Every structure is written in structure tokens, then in C-alpha cells.
Amino acid sequence: MNQDYCLAIRSLTKGASPDAGQPPWYGWEPQPLSEPTIAHRFLSICTKHADRISMEDGRGALSYRWLHCQSSRLAQHLVNHNDFEVGTHVGLCLSNSPEYVAAFFGIQLAGGVAVPIPPHQQGSRSQQQIGMTRLKLLIENGQHRTETSSRDTLLVRLNATTVPQSCQQVRPMGRLAMLLFTSGSSGDPKAVMLSHQNILSNTQSIVQVLPVAPTDRSLANMPFAHALGNSVMQTHILNGAGLIFSSDLLFPTALLNALETKQCTSLVAVPEVFDFLLRALGTDSLKSSSLRYMAVAGGRMDPDRAVQLADQISPVEFFVMYGQTEATARLACLPSRQVEQQADTIGMPIPGVEFSIRNRDGNPVNDGQVGTLFARGKNIMLGYWNDPEGSHSVLRNGWLNTGDRAAKNPVGNYTICGRENGLVKIQGYRFHPNEIDAILLKLMPDTQFATVPYADQGQTRLALFAHHPENVPIDPTELRQICYRQLARHMVPQLYQVIESWPLNSARKIDQAELSRRARQINSSRSYNRSA
Amino acid sequence: MIPQTRETLLEFVRTNTVTSNPITNQTDLIQNEIMDSLMLMELVLFVEQAWGVQLMGNDFAPNYFRTVEQLAQLVETRRLSQSA
């Protein structure tokens, strides 16, 4: 029996001030007994596919029976923990791994609320997320711990061979299944509340547009703490398919090698991954004996590159998907057979999702006209945790304001025409550039900042402009270092420019479009001049 | 050219990361978690902008990006072959 899998459950309540009670607006209700939970689905799949491979990593292949036993063991420890009761928020600070999956479903079996905390981010950011979601317990990797357990930390070895009787039935629990972090329309970080119904409906919608089958072996390269990776994990496990874990996946050659050597059947990733794959392929076609399909999501892929990739990987299918965390994960899909002709669109809403494009008065527009894209379906979030105002600003009568401008074309596909509110998406992470300015302003209150997006070879990049009203010298290199220290990695600007004065638009505000244009110009001027 | 290429790359890596450990030409960028997907992308774009080389195919492998020295060797090889 493999002894290498181990989790650590750390109590976060020591020294914490007594809970002041639930916030005035919680959104928590008991799960209706007539509706299935993630735990119901998980138990059903584990029973039906007990001998099928659920996951595989460098340590070996793990069956659904294994997953069932370990999740149940973890659940039992949670239920017996002094700091746990039904509805307790339990953090998950683990990289993509069998341990993560076992922990996630263990929390579900126990009746807790799973809160993924990205493992490789600044400690201050993790503390902020832990505090704002009132985590009581944090599950981490226990593999290299030397102590057996301590007062605050319980080690749980994942070597169970049976399922405790108490874990063979689903406990009554709340509607809330998990919290996922994202950025709101004004740039401040928010925790999206996802219910059991949200997750189950979205996974079932996805398998109606993607050819997911229990025989699938999907390369799990997108972080599970992020909406897209979370969706890939749940879609496969809750449908009896397999997840493959591998290291060094940031190198496209390693990724291609992993796809082949591990006989992967699918890959779902953000546009940046596929851009790199195209570079690695060059003009060669993809040769794979096992791949059935790939899908891009979590951002806009350049249409020409989507067409190029679809051609180079053929007969492997290529799907284009659109979604956001507030919709659990995915909202629309462009089928593989339409990519060549309709690559500038996001396709149509997936089963169970409706779209509506509205003008500023809230009225539907005609086909072909640009308006704000609204979405409705059982996958739309309950709201933002502890933020009724933010929730009401995007949720109206069951419709989610996606924040995107869109239009519907004559064949019924939707085209995204831009963002309403200046949010950008980089590496699948959505945020507002002025989050960066706000952070820097706290550190350098006498300096003015403006971060703007600019396009570089089909990708969105960021430029930080800085100005001191009294022309005190600013060191761009020092600014860059500050950004690396203070910001999430995907938010660090690539270009730093000190300017003497701000260009202003007709409303006497900083002309962001002009700054973006200057950023593109500066970036271009740095390109190697072959004629020189 | 290699010493200059090496120094330029080293400066780029040092400027675009924050670590308490010194970074040298032989520092394992992957093991020390300096190399992530964004750093990789920025390095590739920097190499292409600074020296006009096109990195393709098997260039995107860990053995070319593990250390600054290895990357400098790759840049010089591509520069010479693409200018010939």
C-alpha cells in the first residue's frame, strides 16, 4: 500500500477573535433533501466506477475505490474535529494532486464548504483570503512533515482500504459547496459562492458539448484553485473519467511529451498555453496516438491562432469555450467543426444556459447589435461571499451581467466585443489594472500610477506608467521589483515607464487609450531591428 | 558574444524576479521556482526582441531554460544559424 499520500489539517482558530456571528447577508440555506449534492454524485460515481482509474501521477495509478476510501477517511477526521461542523469553511492549500482531489471530496462528504487557496502566492494574499472567508481549518500537503501530529495540526495518511460506515450516506448539509476567488467589476478580490446545484449543472452541461467519457485521461495542468482547473477536476471526477498529473508542464515540449507518454485523451487550457504549444509545434502537425480533443477557455484566443491550431492538431478536435467564475466555469462553446468558419465567436450557450444581449436600459437588442451580455442558468452563482451590494450589482432577477459586450451573428453564434468595465484576463485570471495602482499607491502615496493593457503578439500585457507631481525621480527597476513582491504573478506589468505629465482626454481624465497606444509603441521600438 | 548574451539574460532574470537567493549563470531556475509560465513567456519574448531570433519547436524544453548559461548557449546557436 502506498504510504506517500498524506494531508495535514491545520486549525486556524487559535488566537482568533470569537466569531461575531454570521454576517448580516450570508446566502446560506439548507440543501433541499430532494436535490442531489456533490457528495451524492461522488458516491454514485465511486460505486459505479470503483475499479476505474481516477487519477495518475508519478507515484502510480489510483482507482475510484482508492479515492472513495481516502475522501471518506478525510471526511471522518473533519467530522470528528473540534473546529468543524456542517457548513464550516475549510481551506485547501495544495497543488494539483491526488491529495487535492481526495481533500476536496472529503470536505464535500463531511458537509463542509471547500475554499481553494492557491499554494504559490504571496503570504499576505493568502492571509487576506483566509480572513475574508473566515476559514476555520486549512488542509495542506502533509507528505514531508516529520511530526505525527501537533496541537494545531492533524496528519491524515491516505492509506485507507475501507469506507467507514458513517461515510456511506450523505449528511444533511447547506446549499453552499465552495467559494472560489475572483476579481469583481471594480477590481477588488471577491469570493464567488457556488452551490451544489451550480457545480452539478455546469459539469453536466459541459459533458453535453465536450466528448468527456469515463475512458478519458485529461492532463490536469490548470490549477484546481482557479475556476477553469476546478471545472476540469469536477467534470472528470463526477463523470468517472481520469485525471493525469505531471511536472514541468510549463514547457510546451514537456506538455506535448506528457500528453503522449501518459496516453492523455484531452487537454483543457488557457490561450497562453496554446500559444506556446503553437510555437513548439512550429509548422508540424501534432502527432498523438491517444488525444481526442483539446479545448481553450479562460480568455480570448486569437481567432487566427485558433484556426491554425485546429488545423495542426486535426483530427484531434479543438473547442473554443467562454465562461467566468460567477457562472461556475463555462457558459458557451464553439464546436470543433465550426472553428474554421466562426473562430471569432464563442459559439452558443451550453445546454441549460440562456443568453440575453441588452442595451443600457436593460432591454434586449436586435440580432447583430452590440449590447451587454447577460446569462441565466442553474450554474449562475449564489452571489459574492459577504458582499450583498456587489452581488446585486451583477445579479438581477436570476440573470448574471457578465460584464462583456457582445453581439449575436446570423448563424446564432455570439461574438464578444470588449469589456464593460475595463477588466482584463491574463492566464485565465480576471482583474482590473487599477488594482495594481491601488496597491502601489499605498506604498508610494506621493506618486501617481496608471496601469493599462496593451496587445503584444495576440496577448494582453500590462504597462505601468508613473508620474511624480514634483518630478521626484522614479526608478522603473525599483517599481518592477516592488510589483514582483506585492502582486500576484499574473498581475505584474511587463513594461514600466515614467512620464512627465499625463495625457488627458476630453473629460480631463487620464487618457487610458493613449497610454495603451504609447505602450504598444514603446514595446515595438524595443524589438530587434534586423536591418540595423 | 556569449559573455554579453549571458550578462544580458542574467540581468533580465534578476530584474524580473524577487528572490532572497543570489542568481548566477548556473542557478537552477526551475528548481528554485524562479521559472514559471509567465517568466518563461517573458524570457522568450525578450530573447526574440533583443536578438531577433525565433525560438521554435524543441527549443521550448526544460534543458534550455534551466540555467542562464543554457539559455545563452541556445540564443547564440540560434543567432548564428539564423543569420547565416
How many folded domains does chain A comprise? 2
Alpha-carbon distance A429 to nearest alpha carbon in chain B (angstroms): 12
On the question of pLDDT at B64 being above 80, the answer is yes
DSSP assignment string, B10-79: HHHHHHT---SS---TT--TTTTT---HHHHHHHHHHHHHHH-----GGGSSHHHHSSHHHHHHHHHHHH
Domain ranges within chain B, ordered by starting residue: 2-83
Contact A250 B51 (CB under 8 A): no
Interface test with A, best of B8, B38, B40 (most A CBs within 10 A): B38
Alpha-carbon distance B37 to nearest alpha carbon in chain A (angstroms): 5
Tell me which residue range forms the domain holding A500: 433-525
**Out of A456, A481, A490, closest to residue B18 by CB:** A481
Q: Which residues pair with A480 in a beta bridge?
A: none
> For the CA atoms of A220, A223, A225, A231, what is the dihedral angle to 10 degrees?
-40
Positive or negative, the Cα torsion across A35, A37, A43, A45? positive
Interface test with A, best of B12, B18, B64 (most A CBs within 10 A): B18
Angle A98-110/A38-48 helices, nearest 10 degrees? Answer: 120
Q: With beta carbons less than 8 A apart as the criterion, state whether A143 and A117 touch.
A: no
Q: Which residues pair with A318 in a beta bridge?
A: A294
The stretches in chain A having pLDDT less than 70 are 1-3, 14-28, 144-149, 183-188, 527-532
Rounded to whole angstroms, the Cα distance separating A161 from A105 reads 17
Rounded to whole angstroms, the Cα distance separating B19 from A160 reads 40
Rounded to whole angstroms, the Cα distance separating A227 from A44 reads 24
DSSP assignment string, A415-434: EEEEESS--EEETTEEE-TH
The number of residues in chain B equals: 84
Rounded to whole angstroms, the Cα distance separating B54 from B48 reads 6
CATH code (residue A118): 3.40.50.980
In chain B, what residues touch A282 (CB-CB under 8 Å)?
Answer: 56-57
CATH code (residue A450): 3.30.300.30
Taking the domain B2-83, which CATH number applies?
1.10.1200.10
Q: With beta carbons less than 8 A apart as the criterion, state whether A290 and A264 touch.
A: yes
pLDDT tens for A44-56 read: 999 999 999 999 9
Q: With beta carbons less than 8 A apart as the criterion, state whether A435 and A447 touch.
A: no
Contact A481 B15 (CB under 8 A): yes
Rounded to whole angstroms, the Cα distance separating A107 from A79 reads 9
- Other residues' Cβ atoms within 10 Å of the Cβ of residue A80: 11
C-alpha cell at A402: 457578465
pLDDT at A216: 96
Q: With beta carbons less than 8 A apart as the criterion, state whether B52 and B14 touch.
A: no
- Other residues' Cβ atoms within 10 Å of the Cβ of residue A57: 20
pLDDT at A532: 30
DSSP assignment string, A254-302: HHHHHHHHTT--EEEE-HHHHHHHHHHHTTPPP--SS--EEEE-SSPPP
Q: How far is CA A288 from the centre of its chain?
A: 27
Question: Is position A157 within any domain?
Answer: yes
Rounded to whole angstroms, the Cα distance separating A239 from A207 reads 8
pTM attached to this predicted model: 0.89
pLDDT at A151: 75
Chain A residues touching chain B at CB-CB below 8 Å: 120, 248, 250-254, 272-273, 276, 279-282, 284, 427, 456-457, 459, 477, 480-481, 484-485, 489-490, 492, 494, 526-530
- Other residues' Cβ atoms within 10 Å of the Cβ of residue A129: 22
Of the three residues A152, A174, A196, the one that is the final residue of a domain is A174
Question: Is position A181 within any domain?
Answer: no
Question: Is position A306 within any domain?
Answer: no
Place of cell 496516453: A263
Question: Is position A247 within any domain?
Answer: no
In chain B, what residues touch A527 (CB-CB under 8 Å)?
Answer: 48-49, 52
Of the three residues A158, A174, A190, the one that is the final residue of a domain is A174
Q: With beta carbons less than 8 A apart as the criterion, state whether A371 and A405 touch.
A: yes
Q: How far is CA A412 from the centre of its chain?
A: 27
- A439: nearest Cα among A402, A491, A504, A512: A491
pLDDT at A531: 29
In chain A, what residues touch B49 (CB-CB under 8 Å)?
Answer: 526-528
Alpha-carbon distance A525 to nearest alpha carbon in chain B (angstroms): 9
Q: State yes or no: cis peptide before A315, omega within 30 of 0.
A: yes
Give me the residues of B, 25-84, that contact A with CB < 8 A.
30, 33, 35-38, 40-42, 44-45, 48-52, 55-58, 60-62, 65
Contact B61 A253 (CB under 8 A): yes
pLDDT at A530: 32
pLDDT at B72: 95
Strand-by-strand arrangement of the A348-349 sheet: A60-63, A53-57, A242-244, A217-219, A266-269, A293-296, A317-323, A330-334, A348-349
Q: With beta carbons less than 8 A apart as the criterion, state whether B53 and A443 touch.
A: no
Rounded to whole angstroms, the Cα distance separating A250 from B60 reads 9
Of the three residues A174, A203, A220, the one that is the final residue of a domain is A174
Alpha-carbon distance B55 to nearest alpha carbon in chain A (angstroms): 8
